[in-house]
Structure 1
Amino acid sequence: MSMANTGSARSIATKAPAPWGLAALLLAASMAAPPAASAAPPAPVPNADPAFPFSREIEAFAKANSAGPPVRDATLFLGSSSIRLWDIAGSFRDIRTVNRGFGGATTPHVLHYYKRLLPPVAPRAIVVYVGENDLAAGAAPETVANDIMALLRRLRRDYPRAAISWLSLKPSPIRWTLRPKMAQVNAMVAARAQRVQVEYLDVGTVLLARDGLPDASLFTRDGLHMNARGYQRWSRLVHAWLDQATPAASSPGAS
């Protein structure tokens, strides 16, 4: 019996190492394991204005301003991608033009970059299209209308002699669900624009088909931006307004 007890005790001692032996094993394992790779910090992204994503486009406008002599007696087209994608120079060959549209811009974006969007010489006329992206981003119609009016008042204050027009928010196939909110913004701006001597131009009706829905043949495949046929209709409306609001420029040109 005593021998059996002794053998059992030896067996148990072999399976359970002493406390100091366990600590030594853990220390050796930790020393043998490769160190965990530390996450590399993200590379800095160069951006002159990290609060807004349009720095390169704004820099391009500055370069255009300094590339040659200033464009005098020009019509300034200002706003979002509906302005940027418009072939302004080709559509208005009889006048001088400056295009200051940048894609995805909301009215707060235009206000933020305001001074850097302006040409070096006061324009003869200004055509503005902003507000559509504001609604698409979730802004309330009243907020959008207030922001638009803030921009129009600022333009009127800085250019008291210029003819200024704001183009109504356009219907499009992909944003047709926003049409009621667009109508609210259009109505509010139309009622207030006259107070600051800004012309309201309805450029949405000409984009509708006979059934009252957006005419898909006037838009590109994205269902948002107009194609050349759609822009032709806008150009006719703006031409008519310019003929009535401003005398003809002495000679054509573009920037």
Structure 2
Amino acid sequence: MLKLLSKPLALLGTFLLFGATVAAAADIAYGSPLKFAGEVANFARIDAQQPSEPGGVVVTGSSSVRMWRPRIQRDLPGIRVIPRGFGGSNMNDLFFYSEQLISKYQPRAVAIYEGDNDIAQGIAPRQVADKFLALGDKLRSENPDLRIYFIAIKPSLARWSLWPKMQQTNRLIEALCDEREGYFYIDVAGALLENGRPKRDIFIGDGLHLNEKGYELWAEAVAAVLEKLERGYE
């Protein structure tokens, strides 16, 4: 009797193990973007006081963009920049607020830095790439000529254990940019690494955000692409 039952029990065990593996690999749902409603509303108040001319370049994304704001125009002197970084955001948050943070400015181009927080929140690389593609399609449906730049996810001391997944995300999005006209990938990772590890003297105390030296390297990498491709449209 035990022999007769052993095979079905083994199959049941295999099925349960397979089910657990599938569940573990299931996509994690993005959190609600509504927590950023106040920050986005503040941008609207800024716009009411200082309207932006159409045809500029929106630079948006998470805290790495928000903290870049004090020097961003100096780092990109040949471009009319509209900085719209909102700290802690992910690709889904930007998708949700894309009308208020990108489309309303009628930009000729947008540069996006997202994915850092997505991976830290457990979102899979493929999910991030898919959301980037959905965002691009949404923006292009409103402006078919919009040029879209993706600023690669940066390596950092604080999130070094997540770097393999961040690299995978970067590769997926780089491939998407290579396949689609008007999409561009900006590699900042190489400038921030030394002997395959993040440079230790380019971050503030949290090991995640860049200091002035870090932003010099970051800005140089971004400007090498944006200045070259966008200056002619000014």
Instruction: Indicate which of 52, 62, 85 corresponds to 1:80.
Output: 62
Q: Which runs of 5+ in 1 are unaligned?
A: 1-49, 251-255
Verify the 8 A CA contact 2:102 2:110 in the aligned structure 1. Answer: no
Counterpart of 1:54, as a letter, is F
Equivalent of 2:112, from 128, 131, 134?
128
Quote the sequence identity (%).
35
| Corresponding position of 2:12 | none
Shift of 1:189: 0.8
* Secondary structure of residue in 2 paired with 1:150: helix
Q: Secondary structure of the residue that 1:155 maps to in structure 2?
A: helix
Instruction: Check whether the contact 1:105–1:133 (CA below 8 A) recurs between aligned residues.
Output: yes
Runs of 4+ in structure 1 off by over 6 angstroms are none
Give the structure 2 partner of residue 46 of structure 1. Answer: none
CA deviations 1:140-196 (Å, max 9, x no partner) are: 111121112211222333332233210111100010000110111111111112333
Residue 65 of structure 1 pairs with residue 50 of structure 2 = no
Please say if 1:189 is aligned against 2:164. Answer: no
Query: Which residue of 1 is the match for residue 15 of structure 2?
Result: none
| Structure 1 residues 157 and 232: alpha-carbon distance in aligned structure 2, compared to 1, 3 A threshold | farther
CA distance in structure 1 between the aligned counterparts of 2:59 and 2:233, rounded to whole angstroms? 16
Question: Normalising by structure 2, what TM-score?
Answer: 0.79
Q: Corresponding residue for 1:110?
A: 94
Higher mean C-alpha deviation, range 92-101 or range 67-76? 67-76
* Partner of residue 192 from structure 2, selected from 197, 207, 222: 207
Residue ranges of structure 2 left out of the alignment (5+ in a row): 1-31
Going from structure 1 to structure 2, the CA distance change for 1:53 and 1:69 (only over 3 Å counts) comes to closer
Q: How much is the aligned-residue C-alpha RMSD, in angstroms?
A: 1.9
Larger helix fraction of residues: 2
Q: Structure 1 residues 196 and 67 mapped into 2: Cα distance closer, same or farther (>3 Å)?
A: farther
Q: Which residue of 1 aligns with 2:129?
A: 145
Q: Which letter does structure 1 place at the counterpart of 2:37?
A: S
Whole-angstrom CA distance in 2 between matches of 1:147 and 1:108: 7
Matching residue of 2:226: 242
Change (3 A) 1:225 1:134: same
How many equivalent residue pairs? 200
- Of structures 1 and 2, the larger Rg is shown by 1
Q: Distance in 1 between matches of 2:78 and 2:231?
A: 12
1:41-74, Cα deviation, whole Å (9 max, x unpaired): xxxxxxxxx8621122101111122213332331
Q: Deviations over 1:89-131 (max 9, x none)?
A: 2322332111111000011111111211126432132111001
Local SS of the residue matching 2:54: coil
